[in-house]
Chain A
Amino acid sequence: AQSVTQPDIHITVSEGASLELRCNYSYGATPYLFWYVQSPGQGLQLLLKYFSGDTLVQGIKGFEAEFKRSQSSFNLRKPSVHWSDAAEYFCAVVFNTNAGKSTFGDGTTLTVKP
């Protein structure tokens, strides 16, 4: 079955440290890949997306993600975390564009220590 896994439920990093959030998917072909961020009580905001081409994609707020086909991964990174980055992060995958549905991971909660 097609699935999306975010292995880390909760991550804590110090302000200024680097960040990597993991996302893996199970699917034979290359899907469309997305990262969203959600602040408490708010909707989801799109950070970045990958459809094809350059496997390193840049997003908003200084985030980037790298698609690795061999590992079926799409990890989100940021070189230096700010306190305002504390939020929940969701990886999402579109496996079948005809169906128009996205599959979401369970999310990773990021805490930023001062």
Chain B
Amino acid sequence: DGGITQSPKYLFRKEGQNVTLSCEQNLNHDAMYWYRQDPGQGLRLIYYSQIVNDFQKGDIAEGYSVSREKKESFPLTVTSAQKNPTAFYLCALRDADTDTQYFGPGTRLTVL
């Protein structure tokens, strides 16, 4: 089995703590994306990476950071600067041949 995996499925954090969400893929795609989903607001792009060692801010990057040291991995850190981090976070990768995005199962982050 393989594809795109996210862990953990549920994550709880105290206010003021940084937390890192994992996204891993074994499909050999270059481009990976992080989205935030809130009820009634659809998906909003946080960060994306089109190639290893390179990434760009999306529409709501403030309070988040990423790294792309390996093709297989694109972790997202939610920092204490993110004022309202409770949300559902989705990682996706893009098949460049078809311009189609495929999604992981998501991580639900709750700040206590």
Residues of A within 8 A of B (CB): 9, 32, 34, 36, 41-46, 49, 51, 90, 92, 94, 97, 100-102, 104-107
| Contact between chains at A104 and B43 (CB < 8 Å) | yes
Complex interface: chain B residues within 8 A of A104 (CB): 42-43
Interface residue total, chain B, C-beta cutoff 8 A: 26
| Contact between chains at B106 and A90 (CB < 8 Å) | no
| Contact between chains at B40 and A9 (CB < 8 Å) | yes
Count: A-B pairs, CB below 8 Å: 52
Does B45 sit within 8 A of A, measured CB to CB?
Answer: yes
A93 to B29, CA, bound (A): 20
| Contact between chains at B48 and A46 (CB < 8 Å) | no
With contacts A32-B99, A92-B101 taken as known, whether A105 is within 8 angstroms of B106 at the C-beta atoms is no
| Contact between chains at A100 and B43 (CB < 8 Å) | no
- Nearest neighbor of A4 in chain B, beta-carbon distance: B42
Complex interface: chain B residues within 8 A of A49 (CB): 98, 100
| Contact between chains at A43 and B106 (CB < 8 Å) | yes
- Nearest neighbor of A105 in chain B, beta-carbon distance: B42
| Contact between chains at B103 and A44 (CB < 8 Å) | yes
- Nearest neighbor of B104 in chain A, beta-carbon distance: A43
29 of the cross-chain contacts (CB-CB < 8 Å) are: A32-B99, A34-B100, A36-B103, A41-B106, A42-B106, A43-B104, A43-B105, A43-B106, A44-B43, A44-B90, A44-B103, A46-B101, A49-B98, A51-B98, A51-B99, A90-B42, A90-B43, A92-B101, A94-B99, A97-B99, A100-B48, A100-B99, A101-B45, A104-B42, A105-B42, A106-B41, A106-B42, A107-B40, A107-B42
Complex interface: chain B residues within 8 A of A36 (CB): 103
4 nearest CB pairs, A to B: A43-B103, A106-B42, A44-B103, A104-B43
Does B94 sit within 8 A of A, measured CB to CB?
Answer: yes
A-contact bits for B1-33, CB 8 A (1 contact / 0 none):
000001000000000000000000000000101
A43 to B4, CA, bound (A): 10
- Nearest neighbor of B58 in chain A, beta-carbon distance: A101
Which one, A9, A42, A94, A101, contacts B105 given CB within 8 A? A42
Complex interface: chain A residues within 8 A of B106 (CB): 41-43
